[in-house]
C-alpha cells in the first residue's frame, strides 16, 4: 500500500515565525511532489510543486525534497493569520497515480 504520511496537527505557530510542515512517502519511485492548501469549506489549491532534490522557493514558501529519505517539507516564512489552513502533501507515484496525505492543520497565532 503506497502511503503519504503527515502529522495531523494542529500545528500552532506565532505570527511572523517560520511554520514547518513535514511529509513522508513510501513509494521510493515517486517522481512528483505537491503541497496544497485547503481553507475550511473550500477546495484544495496548489501552493508548490517540486520534482528534484533540494529546495524550491516561491515568495514566503520553500519546498524541500529529499528522495533518499523519502521526505518532503514545506516552510512558510513570516507566517500570517491568513496562512491558517490545512496543508495537504501529495505524491505522484510510478503508477501515474497521485496519493494525498490526510493533511496538517496549521494555526497561526496573532
Partner 1 sequence: TAGITQAPTSQILAAGRSMTLRCTQDMRHNAMYWYRQDLGLGLRLIHYSNTAGTTGKGEVPDGYSVSRANTDDFPLTLASAVPSQTSVYFCASSDFGATDTQYFGPGTRLTVL
Q: Which residues bind partner 1 (CB under 8 A)?
A: 31-32, 34, 42-46, 49, 51, 88, 90, 92-93, 95-98, 100-103
Residue 28 or 102 with smaller CB distance to partner 1: 102
Say if residue 98 is exposed, middle or buried (CB neighbours under 10 Å; 0-12, 13-18, 19+).
middle
Residue owning grid cell 492548501: 37
CB of 21 to partner 1, least distance (A): 15
Nearby residues of 59 by Cβ (< 8 Å), 6 or more positions away: none
Residue 49 or 70 with smaller CB distance to partner 1: 49
Residue 77 or 102 with smaller CB distance to partner 1: 102
Amino acid at each position: 500500500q503506497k502511503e503519504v504520511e503527515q502529522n495531523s496537527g494542529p500545528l500552532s505557530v506565532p505570527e511572523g515565525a517560520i511554520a514547518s510542515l513535514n511529509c513522508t512517502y513510501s513509494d521510493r519511485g515517486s517522481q512528483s511532489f505537491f503541497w496544497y492548501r485547503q481553507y475550511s469549506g473550500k477546495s484544495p489549491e496548489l501552493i508548490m510543486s517540486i520534482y528534484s532534490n533540494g529546495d524550491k522557493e516561491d515568495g514566503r514558501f520553500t519546498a524541500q525534497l529529499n528522495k533518499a529519505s523519502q521526505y518532503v517539507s514545506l516552510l512558510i516564512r513570516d507566517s500570517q493569520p491568513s496562512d491558517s489552513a490545512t496543508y495537504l502533501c501529495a505524491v505522484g507515484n510510478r503508477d501515474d497515480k497521485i496519493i494525498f496525505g490526510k493533511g496538517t492543520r496549521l494555526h497561526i497565532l496573532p
